[in-house]
Structure 1
Amino acid sequence: MARRRGRLCASVKLCASRKHIWRELKRSAGQGPRFRRQHPCGPYILDFYCSQAQLCIEIDGYAHGTDDRPERDERRDAYLADLGICVERLAAQTVLQDPHAVAHGVIVLAAELMAAKA
């Protein structure tokens, strides 16, 4: 079920901010932590996930600050924390301004988490 859902989500087009950071994360895949995009985890689909670091990267656009979205994000983050997954939320606007620098920061964070687990 999760595998099928993952395939369905992988076919969905990424928004601009996710597309830019994914391009940067893929470029560095051979040199450091590996990330997956649209990774299924229980009832959720994670924007980006590094299994070695147990790190989830979520790109939050404007909608994440409206209606009941903040509460839903909190429930999701708590669920992931119970699984031992660290969640890092990044503003889409920040990613669009400098995707290379944001991706570098994500890679450094993943490497630090991996080192701490070793």
Structure 2
Amino acid sequence: MTQKRLTPAARNLRRSATEAEARLWHHLRNRQLEGFKFRRQYPIGAHIADFACEQARLVIELDGGHHADQIDADTLRTRSLEAAGYHVLRFWNTDVLNNTSGVLEAIREELFTATS
């Protein structure tokens, strides 16, 4: 699937964000995290990344409970995103909701590792 064909699906995902996605987006939007620009529900290759920072070549994926049953699919997705030149960080939704500051710190560390 091309990025152009994924755009309507990405728009729909932006409109129906989970609580964890909305909370993380609140902290990432408008260059709030160390001045890095993030996009949400961003098409990359055949996938739509939950969040992506092109400058740091970083993708952030949030996983709900159903991801426990699709480990193989998530592994393939991660490999595909890495093949496109991105590093992938995955967090459980519960981590974002219960430890937002810890998730943000992990993202911050990765941003500085990726750009140094």
TM-score bucket (shorter structure):
0.7 to 0.9
Residue 92 of structure 2: aligned partner: 91
Deviation at 1:30, TM superposition (A): 7.3
Find the aligned partners of 1:65 and 1:77 in 2 and give their Cα distance.
15
3-state SS of 1:14 partner: coil
Find the aligned partners of 1:89 and 1:30 in 2 and give their Cα distance.
17
3-state SS of 1:113 partner: helix
Give unmatched runs, 5+ long, in structure 1: none
TM-score (norm: length of structure 2): 0.85
- Residues 1-118 of structure 1 mapped to structure 2, 5 A cutoff: 2-3=3-4, 5-12=6-13, 13-26=16-29, 28-29=31-32, 31-66=34-69, 69-115=70-116
Larger relative contact order (CA 8 Å, sep ≥ 6): 1
TM-score (norm: length of structure 1): 0.83
Number of corresponding residues: 113
Deviation at 1:43, TM superposition (A): 1.1
Give unmatched runs, 5+ long, in structure 2: none
Q: CA RMSD in A?
A: 1.9
3-state SS of 2:27 partner: helix
Tell me which stretches of 4 or more aligned residues in structure 1 moved more than 3 Å: 27-31
